[in-house]
A and B are shown apart, each in its own frame.
Chain A
Amino acid sequence: MQTETMTVNLGPQHPATHGVLRVVLELDGEVVIKCTPEVGYLHTGIEKTAEAKLYYKVIPMTDRMDYLAPMSNNLGYCLAVEKLLGVEAPPKAQWARVLLTEITRLNSHLVWLGTHALDIGAMSMLLYVFREREDLLTIYEAVSGQRMMSTYFRIGGLADDLPDDFEPMVRKVLKTFPVRFQEYENILTNNRIWRNRTIGVGVISKEEAIKSGITGPMLRAAGVKHDLRKARPYSSYEKFDFEIPTQQASDCFARYQVRLEEMRQSLRIIQQAMDGMPEGRYLARVPGVVLPTKEEALFQMEAMIYHFKLVTEGFHPPKGEVYVTIESPKGELGYYIVSDGGTMPYRMRVRPPSFVNISALSKLVVGRLLADVIACIGSIDIVLGEVDR
């Protein structure tokens, strides 16, 4: 009997590709024999545009890369520029950054859980996680005035002081979320359909994962205990007590377990950050480089002049190049900035975790059924804004 293979286009418009990813699949019957992810349908030119923007004005664009984790992107960029300048954010800003990036991690993992479950067929999960997400977005809105694209971090600190109603909102999240996570577990963990669709699906070996440059929950689900928050602490993460969850199975179910446990650990960090929030300034006092606080800019002449000069002319960092990595919800997020001494970056390059992780897709799906491709794409947790930039 003679058989023919069939080429199937998955995307760029497909509800389960999490954006505009296109995957070209070669199928033998229903079995995938070749898989080529094609990216670029959301190419935004962020890296190039950053070369024509003052350092401060790049921050809003970093939000729009990984739009499920805007604060992590802010943090990565701000830390890179701070390293270039030799500026350190004051303790209060560092702790607030830790707190808010952990809230961002919850936010990102929640949307991941909802959409991944939706792809596999558990539609109600999406509605549950979006209920919880509103609580987190309320916090975003309280600190920055925007629900999603917060742009709250500044070079050398924060845009503004934390509002008065910040603490009750965070306490509410700390109180309600453990119960919600239990609800998710009740719905999914022992659900037969969920287990059948995820256990043993999308397996990648530990060695292969390291070789492919995979980072984040995907790597930890393969049994590698690597988390930059512990391995190379930034922004005072070394002062917090938390565990790095790992699993050995390296399948979609293991990734689900790792992410769920990570959310619980995030709550622990948020609790510690809220309890021990230091007092003091929220912006470093480095005139000429770091913006003055709002009160200073309004009531002190010199601060107002600095503010005006920084916003219109920018600052001149020393010549050189820096590379800073942080642990974003999706993995290792790196910012590489080259400065030629001018007011704008000479070159900015981003190492997006999703882009590297999606490149391993073919290793996950070849030899498996077409339906498993959907589960695998979901379990990688990609955001196309970050992949294509």
Chain B
Amino acid sequence: MGLEEKIPDGIILATAEKVVNWARKRSTWPFGFGLACCAIEMMSSFGPKYDLSRFGMEVMRASPRQADLMIVAGRVSNKMAPVLKRLYDQMPNPKWVISMGACASCGGIFNNYAILQGVDKIVPVDIYVPGCPPRPEQLIDGIVKLQKLIDQEKLKGDSRQSA
């Protein structure tokens, strides 16, 4: 590496892509949006025992306009679906979605008229976290996996399919 020997100490060379992705993945602000049972486990993950802030994720935003990550925690009813879609649309790009729990991922045990059979029918989901409800460790694992996904994003063009 000829160039790095010539520049002074304390300066690291990296691509803009890497720097941006590094910043994004370490400060993903989740949208404080609980639907049902999973929301309580989501709160447990933010609580003192599991402490999600170790991963730079503790800043729950009450408004979709300030959030990067939507954690769909719980069952989505047909009445709630348009609201959820609208909230997703209000979030600024780049944005990610974690589908937390069996109900959000596929309807779970509620295969009936009232529940949307999977939130991926209305918003693009990046990570599915299984469980009913998932343990906080599972959610944290999902978030760490999402951070790896964010790390691989391309700066030029939208590497992901748009909604």
Q: A residues bordering B, Cβ < 8 Å?
A: 12-15, 19-20, 40-46, 48-49, 60-61, 64, 67-68, 111, 126-127, 130-131, 133-134, 137, 147-149, 384-385, 388
Contact = CB atoms under 8 A, between A and B. Distances in A.
Contacts, number: 91
Contacts of B43: 126, 130
A385 B36 contact: yes
Contacts of A111: 40
A19 B39 contact: yes
B141 to A, nearest CB: 15
A67 B37 CA distance: 6
Given A19-B36, A148-B37, A42 B44 contact: no
Which 7 A-B residue pairs are closest in the complex by CB-CB distance?
Answer: A130-B47, A45-B114, A67-B37, A45-B112, A15-B62, A41-B80, A131-B48
Contacts of A131: 47-49
B75 A44 contact: yes
Contacts of A127: 47-48
Interface string B67-86: 00000001101011001000
Contact of A61 (B32, B64, B77, B109): B109
Contacts of A126: 43, 47
A366 B136 CA distance: 40
Given A68-B40, A134-B49, A149-B37, A49 B77 contact: no
Contacts of A13: 33, 64, 83, 87
Contacts of A48: 112-114
Contact of B36 (A12, A64, A134): A64
B119 interface: no
Contact of B110 (A14, A44, A384, A388): A44
A130 B37 contact: no
A386 to B, nearest CB: 10
B115 interface: yes
B133 interface: yes
A133 B44 contact: yes
B123 interface: no
25 contacts: A12-B80, A13-B64, A15-B32, A15-B62, A41-B77, A42-B74, A42-B77, A44-B75, A44-B110, A46-B110, A61-B109, A61-B110, A64-B36, A64-B37, A67-B37, A126-B47, A127-B47, A131-B48, A131-B49, A137-B44, A147-B133, A148-B40, A148-B41, A148-B133, A388-B77
B36 A384 contact: yes
Nearest to A68: B40
A255 B92 CA distance: 41
Contact of B44 (A64, A130, A388): A130
B79 A43 contact: yes
A130 B44 CA distance: 6
A45 B32 CA distance: 25
B75 A42 contact: yes
- Which one of A15, A20, A49 has the highest number of Cβ atoms from chain B below 10 Å of its Cβ? A20
A12 B79 CA distance: 10
A164 B77 CA distance: 41
Nearest to A384: B36
A20 B80 contact: yes
B34 A134 contact: no
Contacts of A149: 37, 132-133
